[in-house]
Amino acid sequence: MTNDDKIIRAFVDKNWNEIKTNNSWQIFKIMSEFVEGFEKLSKIGPCVSIFGSARTKEDHPYYSLTENIAYKLTQTGFGVISGGGPGIMEAANKGARKGGGKSVGLNIDLPFEQTENPYIDRDKFINFDYFFVRKLMFVKYAQGFIVMPGGFGTLDEFFEAMTLIQTQKIGAFPVVLVGKNYWSGLLDWITDVMLKEEKNISEKDLDLFKLVDTADEAVAEIESFYSKYLLKPNF
């Protein structure tokens, strides 16, 4: 179905039988994705979700940085959850595999660019049709979030986590942005416009995430957060 078809279809009147039939099957499909996600991910133990671009190439510094972060996370006892695709997601799973930790992939069917990477544990791979179900799994089963440079999808995942933490729908888990050059422009806008000019957030909201540049700094933020709870994950 083309983009024009999707737009036109939204304005077409549907009869009750068509609405009931289509919506019912969609509900069952959504339920099945929730059930599979809950069943598989409830057993994975402490993990950190790593977000980032599917378009990052293997020879890019952010790829190797992500791989190193994931590896170091596994050495502290955390597993790694990624979006299951190429780019940053592949690097995250690759680093987890290299470190002998759990490597989880939450893939999604897209008309382009998204294919599963080969570094995911086979029993920890799930394929989704719905972004909102997939995003729930990223958040529900993670004890922290590493946000690498990425596009609209990465921003969506970052702000999803921030919104849920800010509104206290989930605990204030550590959120770490990696790449000062990449994220500084966005953070300047958040500070100067959202906070100071429009007062759409509180000053304390800026403490809900950290900005770092290196793998050691990123992992240290996760470890230091949990050290105050005297918690130590294990494989």
pLDDT tens digits, 150-179: 999 999 999 999 999 999 999 999 999 999
Query: In CATH, what is the architecture of 15-227?
Result: 3-Layer(aba) Sandwich (3.40)
pLDDT of 65 higher than 90:
yes
pLDDT tens digits, 107-117: 998 776 567 89
Q: How many CA atoms lie within 13 A of 103 on its CB side?
A: 25
Strand partners, 49: 81, 145
CB < 8 Å & 24+ apart, contacts of 114-117? 114/54, 114/83, 114/85, 114/86, 115/85, 115/86, 116/84, 116/85, 117/84, 117/85, 117/86, 117/89, 117/90, 117/93
Report, in this order, helix, strand and coil percent for the chain, each rounded to 5.
55, 10, 35
pLDDT tens digits, 80-138: 999 999 999 999 999 999 999 999 999 998 776 567 899 999 999 999 999 999 999 99
